[in-house]
Amino acid sequence: MDRFEQNEKAPVTGGICLLTAVSPRRDEGNSPTGIVGRCLARQLLAMGRHVRVMAETDQCGGWPDTVEVVEASITRPLECARAFDGVGAVFLAGARASTVQDALTLAREASVGKVVLLSSHGPEYEEANPPEHSGLAWTHIRPSAVMGAVLEGTYPATGSDWPDTVRADGVVREAFLNQGHYPFIHEEDLAAVVAAALISDDYTGTVVEAVGPPLSTRSRVRSIATALGRDIDTVDLAPDQSRAIWRRLGWPDGAIDVTLYALEEYGAHFAELVQWTLDQRPSVQDIIGRPLRTYDDWVSENVDSFR
* Structure confidence at residue 121 as a pLDDT band (50, 70, 90): low
Contact 3, 196 (CB under 8 A): yes
- Determine the distance from the C-alpha atom of residue 106 to the mean position of all C-alpha atoms in its chain, rounded to a whole number: 24
CATH code of the domain covering residue 121? 3.40.50.720
pLDDT at residue number 125:
53
pTM (predicted TM-score): 0.92
Helices vs. strands in the chain: H and E counts, helices first: 12, 12
Percent of the chain that is helix, strand, coil (3-state, to 5): 45, 20, 35
Q: How far is CA 61 from CA 35, 42, 175, 194, 236, in A?
A: 11, 14, 35, 21, 38
pLDDT at residue number 119:
83
pLDDT at residue number 242:
97
Pick from 48, 85, 90: which is nearest to 66 by CA? Answer: 48
Question: Measured between alpha carbons, how far is 18 from 114 in angstroms, rounded to an integer?
Answer: 10
Residue 219 DSSP SS3: helix
More confident residue, 135 or 145: 145
Decide if 132 is inside a domain: yes
**306: enclosing H helix or E strand:** none
* Structure confidence at residue 27 as a pLDDT band (50, 70, 90): confident
* Structure confidence at residue 127 as a pLDDT band (50, 70, 90): low
- Determine the distance from the C-alpha atom of residue 242 to the mean position of all C-alpha atoms in its chain, rounded to a whole number: 24
Decide if 171 is inside a domain: no
Decide if 256 is inside a domain: no
* Structure confidence at residue 13 as a pLDDT band (50, 70, 90): very low
Give the dihedral sign, CA 208/213/215/219.
negative
Decide if 229 is inside a domain: no
Decide if 231 is inside a domain: no
Decide if 24 is inside a domain: yes
Decide if 176 is inside a domain: no
pLDDT above 70 for 262: yes
Q: What's the domain range around 74?
A: 16-154+184-211+277-292
**229: enclosing H helix or E strand:** none
Per residue in 207-258, pLDDT (tens digit) is 999 999 999 999 999 999 999 999 999 999 999 999 999 999 999 999 999 9
Residue 176 DSSP SS3: coil
pLDDT above 60 for 65: yes
Question: Measured between alpha carbons, how far is 254 from 24 in angstroms, rounded to an integer?
Answer: 16
Domain count, the chain: 1
Decide if 167 is inside a domain: no
HEC readout, 50-117: CEEEEECHHHCCCCCCCCEEEECCCCCHHHHHHHHCCEEEEEECCCCCCCHHHHHHHHHHCCCCEEEE
Which letter does DSSP use for residue 296 in this model? H
pLDDT above 50 for 82: yes
pLDDT above 70 for 123: no
Pick from 87, 82, 5: which is nearest to 40 by CA? Answer: 5
Per residue in 146-181, pLDDT (tens digit) is 999 999 999 999 999 999 999 999 999 999 999 999
pLDDT at residue number 29:
80
Contact 140, 114 (CB under 8 A): no
